Amino acid sequence: MTTNDAVRLLEQFRAGAVTRAQVLRAFRAPAVSNLGFARVDLDRGLRKGFPEVIFGEGKTPAQVVAIARQIWRHEGRVLVTRTTPGHARAMKRAFPRAVHHENARCITLERTPLPKRGGPITVLCAGTTDLPVAEEAAVTAQIMGNRVERVYDVGVAGLHRLLGSLEAIQNAHVIIAVAGMEGALPSVVAGLVSRPVIAVPTSVGYGASLGGLAALLAMLNSCASGVTVVNIDNGFGAGYAASQINALSRDTA
């Protein structure tokens, strides 16, 4: 709410057009549904451009379904990430049209898909084992209304595989580069394009990969300009940020 909005609201209140309760709620009280164990943010679609997303890990199937119900009713669009098979079964039972993206460990549910906006978001991954994280990013970006290109298994140890996909990469509006181990993919890619590159380290590796810390540090220290980084295995975060960036190109044109 901008100051102008506030001024207008107060004048309407003085004029009797809105009630005192409405003023208070506008200033103070965004719509929140308190389930006891969770307060579902029902205005997030308005505020952030997409409804609250349910992080499945550590929640019981019943909790996930209860939260999903609230969001479904108000927003008509639900994304659950980091799901277990138990979550999937419970969601399918509660919402027959729910879609389980197994590779991505996500569940989606929507009345009508959002229209696709902006240019393509290209999701790259370095190796086969990085695939679940890449898919989480791709599924997130898709449900948020973006066209998504997938270019998988293009790690830097076989540079020709990457260079052979250069066209798809250079056509992208935003690039998501997913890699474990030494995490070099985003640096090489960012040197080849002028579009924003979001780097996603994965926990793929062993020994001194330290559960993905090696890749994370490499990406944070990228010698290529324009790389930003999200948490280890955070495909969702990358897909979400890419969508925000892509939305900018359409919304602000």
Tell me which residues in 166-225 interact with its own copies (CB under 8 A): 166-167, 170, 173-174, 181-184, 187-188, 190-196, 198, 201, 203-225
By CB under 8 A, how many residues form the interface with its own copies? 120
Give the integer Cα–Cα distance in Å for 201 and 215. Answer: 5
Task: Record the tokens describing residue 218, joined without a space.
Answer: 């490499």
Binding mask 61-80 for its own copies (x = CB under 8 A): --x-----------------
Q: Does 121 bind its own copies (CB under 8 A)?
A: no
Q: Could you report how far apart the first and last alpha carbons of the chain are, in Å? A: 23
- Least distance CB 99 / its own copies (angstroms): 20
The nearer residue to its own copies, 96 or 136, going by C-beta atoms, is 136
Find tokens 């200033």 and name the residue: 27
Q: Does 114 bind its own copies (CB under 8 A)?
A: no
The nearer residue to its own copies, 94 or 213, going by C-beta atoms, is 213
Binding mask 17-36 for its own copies (x = CB under 8 A): ---x--xx--xxxx-x-x-x
CB count, 10 Å around CB of 117?
15
User: CA separation (Å) from 168 to 3, 70, 214, 225, 231?
Assistant: 44, 39, 28, 20, 25
- Least distance CB 32 / its own copies (angstroms): 6
Nearest Cα to Cα of residue 176 among 155, 153, 149: 149
Contact between 35 and 66 under an 8 Å Cβ cutoff? The reply is: yes
Kindly identify the residues of this chain, within the stretch 133-172, that bind its own copies according to CB under 8 A.
152-161, 163-164, 166-167, 170
